[in-house]
Structure 1
Amino acid sequence: MLEINHKTYIKVPLEKVYQTISTSRGWNAWFTDDASINIDSNGTGQIRLVWGNNEHRTIEDGGPIIEAIPNERFAFKWSPGEVTSTVTFKFEPYKEGTLVILNDKGYTHSVESLRACMGCAVGWGEALTLLKIYLEHGIVYKKDLLFF
């Protein structure tokens, strides 16, 4: 199985980063147009991510939330290609802020899955950059995102 790994340092408190990643309001502020996140008392639930792009297409994905541990980890399944992958955000205190570690695994070696993996590798890198500039500077730049 192939996987995607990214890390970024965000100079804001860990709690604020987790709150942004684990809520609909948080995702919609910096990345999605209409996310819905429902977490139950067991730390599981459902996530639905919806984007519009400049070609007037709507892209929707999501699946079960498999782990939501406040200020530590947020993980969900989604299907950006022919396979379902697992996206995990880990949060660690670092210097004056938070180290965000992203892993997206479950891709196969098929042509379609490789395309999805490559597109998501670029996309997650861009997403973490957008999250960083949103949380550190309050800048939102999601209107002209390019989708794979």
Structure 2
Amino acid sequence: MELKFKVSGRIARPIEEVFEAVADPAKLSAYFTTGGAVGRMESGKTVQWEFADFPGAFPVEIVKVEKNRRIELRWEANEGPPEAGDPVVRTAYMTTVVFFFDALDDGRTLVTIEEGGWHETPNGLKAAFGNCQGWSQMLAALKVWVEHGINLREGFYA
């Protein structure tokens, strides 16, 4: 079984505005990366993200960016520390995240986020579910911030 997921949501703003809210580190920091983002998402670049609930900046490799269409990135899978009696020796590995941006006829933007690549283990499954929750929260935070200027994550984790 391949561990992957897809989440999506509709944002009531034009595609250019929604794309920039993800690609621009200052905008991303305003509603998602609670510890800040450094570096614009551009093909072949590595940016830094930090979250209050996972202290310490970490690298995010930007694989490919197609303006107003798609952002593909890779980052280290976070399976957490080994549990007592865990027979699996964990090695660092990357998962792949792809954002898709689709302009809708009514002026809204459909944002879809897919992530996959976890090891097919109980800890890989747990990590996949955790990231699915995180990306769903990101979409909700993106919608409320872009449409209403409200940061849903402020004070939520710290």
Partners of 1:89 and 1:48 in 2: how far apart? 17
1:35 alignment partner, one of 25, 34, 37:
37
Extract unaligned runs of 5+ from structure 1. Answer: none
Alpha-carbon contact 2:52-2:157 (below 8 Å) kept: no
**Offset, 1:23:** 1.6
Q: Greater share of strand residues, 1 or 2?
A: 1
Match of 2:26 in 1: 25
1:58 to 44, 55, 72: 55
Instruction: Indicate the residue corresponding to 1:140 in structure 2.
Output: 151
CA RMSD in angstroms comes to 1.9
The offset of 1:60, in angstroms, is: 3.6
TM-score (norm 1): 0.87
Residue 5 of structure 1: aligned partner: 6
| Residue pair 1:87, 1:104 contacting (<8 A) in 2 also | yes
Q: Over residues 6-54 of structure 1, what are the superposed CA-to-partner deviations in whole Å (9 max), with x where a residue is unaligned?
A: 11000101001111111211210111122112455xx32112210114x
How far apart are the structure 2 equivalents of 1:84 and 1:17?
A: 26
Deviations 1:36-88 (A, max 9, x none): 12455xx32112210114xxx61543331001111011111011325311111
Runs of 4 or more above 6 Å deviation:
none
Structure 1 residues 59 and 127, CA, compared in 2 at 3 Å: closer, same or farther? farther
2:95 to 61, 85, 88: 85
1: CA distance between counterparts of 2:26 and 2:141? Answer: 15
Q: Helix, strand or coil for the counterpart of 1:107?
A: coil
- Choose 1 or 2 for highest CA Rg: 2
Equivalenced residue count is 142
One-letter identity of the residue aligned with 2:110: L
Aligned-pair identity (%): 24
TM score, norm. by length of structure 2:
0.82
Give distance in 2, aligned partners of 1:19 and 1:38: 10
